[in-house]
Structures are given as C-alpha cells and as structure tokens.
C-alpha cells in the first residue's frame, strides 16, 4: 500500500495565493528577498546569488523528490511575489507534517499575508493530507516568529537545545510549536476572525 504524498496544489485565499515554486518565480523571489532583516534568524540565502539560485533549484526539485514542498507566496491582488513557505518533514505513517522555511518581504509583514498563508496550509494539512498534527519550529531567540506562532494559536511545546546549525547564524536552540486535529476548528475560527479584522 502506498502512503499519501503532497501533490502540487495552488492554495488561494483573499489576500495571498500559494503556488508551487516554478523557474519563472526566480527573479521575483530574488527581488522580494532583498531585505537583510528577513535573514536575521534564517539561512542567509542572499549572501550570494549562487546560493539563492541553488535554494530555488532545490525548491523546484522538491516537487519531484525530497522532503520539502516549496510554495511561493504571492499577493492575490497584484500577483507580486511576497516570499515563500514550505511543507516539510512529512511523515504520513504518523499523520504529521511541518510548516516552515517561511519568509516574507517586510512590506508584507502585518498585512495578514502570513496569517492567511497559515490558514491555507494548516487547513490543507488537516483536510487533504489527513494529518493529526502540524508542527512548527523556530530559532528560540526569534521573538517575532514565536509571537506569530503563539497567536495562531499553536501550542508551545518546549525548546530543543543546541538543536541545529544554521548557515550565517550558527548553532541554535529550536522552539517547537504544534496544532493538533482536535484544536483545528478553534484555531481556524481564530485565524478567520483575525483576517476579518484586517489581519
């Protein structure tokens, strides 16, 4: 019996559209990535164009094979590329998936773009992938990311110390959060309420 896979799918909201990454997204992503504050706690993808292009190529290949399934976050109104997010660490035997590798141009911060992207992805994980758990991790020092996850609300589960090395950042502790299937109806209502109020 074959296990479920994450199929390429376009996820549409009122503010954003999440599209499986394609070669023609490359230049728009590069333009959106040109803000140093994006990369304070993330792999420094813009240290070189070669590194960034390698990341884009890996994202494109991810839909053929690999652990990560990379999306491009676009403004629904203008079509402008705002950033990227991914499903990763999918364990269909356990009904678990992670949402991560998320970044947005600062112009999209506070607009509801991230809130709606999370609504679309968490909803897809539970309704289509049949997940029982959706998890998130972030640098334990990244207060902005931790606050955004707590506001979903995702449950804070603790910190894994000296968890991983991040290029350009160094060794980090990782803070883990999750939403489980029984919590999803309340979480969905909260995200929808936030979007109705402007994000």
Q: Can you tell me the distance from the alpha carbon of 158 to that of 129, in angstroms, rounded to the nearest whole number?
A: 26
Per-residue model confidence as pLDDT tens digits over 65-88: 878 999 999 999 999 999 999 999
Q: How many domains does the chain have?
A: 1
pLDDT of residue 3: 57
Q: What CATH number is given to the structural domain containing 69?
A: 3.40.630.30
pLDDT of residue 168: 80
In a domain, 128, yes or no: yes
Q: Can you tell me the distance from the alpha carbon of 93 to that of 28, in angstroms, rounded to the nearest whole number?
A: 36
In a domain, 58, yes or no: yes
Secondary structure (3-state) at 138: strand
pLDDT of residue 1: 37
In a domain, 53, yes or no: yes
In a domain, 190, yes or no: yes
In a domain, 6, yes or no: no
In a domain, 5, yes or no: no
Its domain, for residue 177, covers 11-196
Residues 40, 44, 48, 54, CA torsion sign: negative
CA distances from 37 to 30, 49, 164, 166, 191 (A): 15, 17, 21, 16, 25
The 10 Å Cβ neighbour count of residue 143 is 12
DSSP string, 171-196: EEEEEEEEEEGGGHHHHHHHHHHHHH
pLDDT of residue 118: 99
pLDDT of residue 180: 99
In a domain, 2, yes or no: no
The stretches in the chain having pLDDT less than 50 are 1-2
In a domain, 162, yes or no: yes
């Amino acid at each position: 019996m074959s296990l479920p896979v994450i199929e390429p799918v376009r996820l549409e909201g009122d503010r954003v559209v999440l599209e499986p990454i394609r070669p023609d997204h490359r230049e728009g992503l590069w333009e959106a990535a040109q803000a140093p504050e994006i990369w304070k706690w993330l792999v420094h993808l813009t240290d070189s164009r070669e590194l960034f292009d390698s990341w884009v190529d890996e994202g494109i290949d991810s839909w053929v094979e690999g652990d990560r399934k990379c999306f491009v976050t676009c403004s629904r109104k203008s079509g402008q590329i705002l950033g990227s997010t991914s499903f990763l660490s999918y364990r269909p035997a356990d009904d678990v998936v992670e949402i991560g590798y998320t970044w947005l141009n600062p112009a999209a911060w506070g607009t509801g773009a991230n809130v709606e992207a999370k609504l679309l992805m968490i909803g897809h994980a539970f309704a289509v992938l049949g997940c029982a758990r959706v998890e998130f991790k972030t640098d334990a020092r990244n207060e902005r990311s931790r606050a955004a996850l707590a506001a979903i609300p995702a449950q804070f589960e603790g910190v894994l110390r000296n968890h991983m090395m991040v290029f350009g950042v160094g060794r980090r502790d990782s803070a883990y959060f999750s939403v489980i299937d029984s919590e999803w109806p309340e979480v969905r209502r909260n995200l929808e309420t936030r979007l109705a109020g402007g994000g």
